[in-house]
């Protein structure tokens, strides 16, 4: 009998996924463990291996379709068996599929330290009949010119969320909201300010000017969706500091000389920066925070999970090192290299790419001095790291050449104010200038 092939668990709080591409033709013969389907979550694209050997009979699912976790999308059986979900082994899982689920379930859900109310979403003051919406949804609606009256909320008690706004702007028509019966003499509506006209769409590019047209899918599609979401929903502020990294460079050279052979790898700047940032997040826990999904509270997080931006052939991925504040440099470096290896080979697991509480993006190896990275939601901050350059600086009334580094801290002003964020960045700079402080202030 045929074996049902279904979408496995792809991480905490992931209930559905979008089919990106079938990797085998309908009716193709596959081996157990062979990748036959690519699906996309809000974090990344994941290949799904066959949970049995045999001939694949695909269900009525095509690229772009959204399917729920555990939904049967194909069957694998004898050559002439039709697609008949539930007629065979059903939800019996092979080792290949169990491995995906086990890797997805490795990390526990992130507990929050505490929640502080930001505001109580209420009615739009411009119109007493306006529906309830989260602050994030209200801000997005105002920026994108979306009429909240035309949207029914999917949140608690019918509250409109940012997902409802994104759905409305993606061209999917939302159901009409339920309206309360109007009184015989409704109060006059307050005048609303004129909404600016939407910009005219750009004219299509002439065919003779197009070298190649590549469909927007996979990791590129995720990036193109998440980056504007971050820009439109956060109150971004950037702080820039130039720091003397001479002692950090010296420390790294000493570590390479002493431990590269024994550890099997040379400790790098990324691991050192992750340890320094983790120390700062412990000293200044208000930076290890995020705005709640409803937009009405700040969540201060217990785990210190550092996301590290990684360049891969598939595009930008953010791998997550968990509990950085509890790990030594050797374990941290080995884990980081494993994560990067899986990301670049396309073998990353769902939890490799989720759960970060703060992000680091290092472009120093590309001769970039400074840049303004985009916050990786739902985190509230990201640290951009430029290249280390020898520069003449004044030190003890003398001009000397020091190895200077530029840091860019981008944070969400809804979660933290400028002065506290500056104190956090100053702490990071102090440890970079004198790395011994890392060991004096560590737990």
Q: Residue 212: what pLDDT?
A: 92
Q: Residue 153: what pLDDT?
A: 78
Mean pLDDT of the region 236-263: 97
pLDDT at 354 over 80: yes
* pLDDT tens per residue across span 77-86: 988 888 888 7
Which residues are tagged catalytic?
413
Range with lowest mean pLDDT among 70-74, 122-126, 382-386, 421-425: 122-126
* Fold type of domain 235-441: Chloramphenicol Acetyltransferase (3.30.559)
Query: What confidence category does residue 195 fall into, taking pLDDT thresholds of 50, 70 and 90?
Result: low
Written as six digits, the tokens of 422 are 């500056």
Mean pLDDT of the region 101-123: 45
Report the range out of 170-184, 194-208, 234-248, 306-320 with the highest average pLDDT: 234-248
Please state, rounded to an integer, the average pLDDT across all residues of the chain: 83
Q: At what angle do helices 246-263 and 329-345 cross, to 10 degrees?
A: 80
* 3-state secondary structure string across 310-324: EEECCEEEEEEECCH
pLDDT at 203 over 70: yes
In whole angstroms, how far apart are CA 376 and each of 81, 322, 359, 383, 419?
A: 45, 16, 7, 11, 22
- H or E stretch covering 341: helix 329-345
Domain positions in the chain are 3-96, 117-169, 235-441
Give the residue carrying structure tokens 């062979």.
34
Contact present, 91 and 70 (Cβ < 8 Å): yes
**Which CATH superfamily does the domain covering 117-169 fall into?**
E3-binding domain (4.10.320.10)
Same fold, 3-96 and 117-169: no
In whole angstroms, how far apart are CA 434 and each of 76, 245, 277, 296?
A: 60, 8, 14, 39
Round to whole Å and give the CA distance between 372 and 382: 9
Round to whole Å and give the CA distance between 56 and 49: 12
Q: Residue 292: what pLDDT?
A: 92
Round to whole Å and give the CA distance between 237 and 418: 8
DSSP state of 207: G
Round to whole Å and give the CA distance between 208 and 214: 15
Q: How many C-beta atoms surround the C-beta of residue 253 within 10 A? A: 12
pLDDT at 123 over 60: no
Range with lowest mean pLDDT among 24-28, 51-55, 63-67, 145-149: 145-149
In whole angstroms, how far apart are CA 281 and each of 208, 216, 286, 303?
A: 52, 36, 8, 10
Range with lowest mean pLDDT among 108-117, 154-163, 300-309, 386-395: 108-117
What pTM did the predictor assign?
0.68
Q: Residue 46: what pLDDT?
A: 82
So what CATH class is 3-96? mainly beta
Q: What are phi and psi of 366, to 5 degrees?
A: -105, 20
Written as six digits, the tokens of 133 are 């919406």
The full DSSP string for 85-138 is: TTSSSTT---HHHHHHHHHHTSSPPPPEEEEEE-------TT-TTPPPB-HHHH
């Amino acid at each position: 009998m045929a074996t049902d092939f279904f979408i496995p668990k792809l991480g905490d709080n992931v209930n559905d996924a979008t089919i990106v591409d079938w990797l085998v033709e309908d009716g193709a013969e596959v081996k157990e463990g062979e990748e036959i389907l690519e699906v996309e979550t809000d974090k990344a694209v994941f290949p799904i291996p066959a949970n049995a050997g045999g001939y694949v009979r695909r269900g009525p699912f095509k690229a772009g379709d959204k399917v729920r976790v555990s939904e049967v999308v194909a069957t694998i059986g004898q050559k002439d068996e039709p697609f008949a979900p539930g007629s065979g082994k059903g939800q019996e899982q092979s080792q290949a599929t169990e491995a995906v689920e086990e890797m997805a379930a490795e990390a526990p859900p992130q507990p929050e330290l505490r929640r502080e109310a930001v505001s109580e979403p209420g009615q739009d003051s411009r119109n007493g009949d306006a529906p309830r919406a989260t602050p994030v949804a209200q801000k997005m609606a105002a920026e994108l010119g979306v009429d909240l009256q035309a949207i029914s909320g999917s949140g608690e008690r019918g509250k409109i969320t940012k997902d409802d706004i994104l759905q409305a702007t993606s061209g999917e028509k939302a159901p009409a909201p339920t309206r309360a019966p109007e009184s015989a003499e409704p109060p006059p509506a307050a005048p609303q300010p004129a909404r600016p006209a939407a910009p005219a769409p750009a004219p299509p590019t002439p065919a003779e000017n197009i070298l190649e047209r590549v469909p927007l899918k996979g990791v590129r599609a995720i990036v193109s969706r998440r980056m504007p979401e971050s820009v439109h929903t956060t109150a971004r502020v950037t702080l820039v500091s130039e720091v003397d990294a001479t002692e950090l460079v010296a420390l790294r050279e000493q570590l390479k000389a002493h431990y590269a052979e024994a550890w099997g790898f040379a400790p790098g700047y990324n691991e050192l920066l992750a340890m320094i940032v983790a120390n700062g997040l412990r000293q200044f826990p208000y930076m290890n925070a995020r705005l709640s999904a409803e937009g009405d509270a700040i969540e201060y997080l217990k785990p210190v999970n550092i996301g590290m931006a990684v360049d891969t052939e598939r595009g930008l991925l953010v791998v997550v090192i968990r509990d950085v504040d509890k790990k030594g440099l050797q374990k941290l470096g080995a884990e980081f290299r494993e994560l990067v290896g899986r990301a670049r080979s396309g073998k990353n697991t769902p939890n490799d790419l989720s759960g970060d509480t703060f992000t680091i993006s290092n472009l120093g190896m590309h001769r970039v001095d400074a840049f303004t990275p985009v916050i990786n939601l739902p985190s509230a901050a990201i640290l951009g790291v430029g290249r280390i350059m020898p520069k003449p600086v004044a030190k003890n009334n003398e001009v000397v050449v020091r190895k200077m580094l530029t840091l860019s801290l981008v944070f969400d002003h809804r979660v933290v104010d400028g002065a506290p964020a500056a104190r956090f960045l100053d702490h990071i700079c102090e440890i970079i200038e004198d790395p011994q402080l890392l060991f004096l202030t560590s737990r």
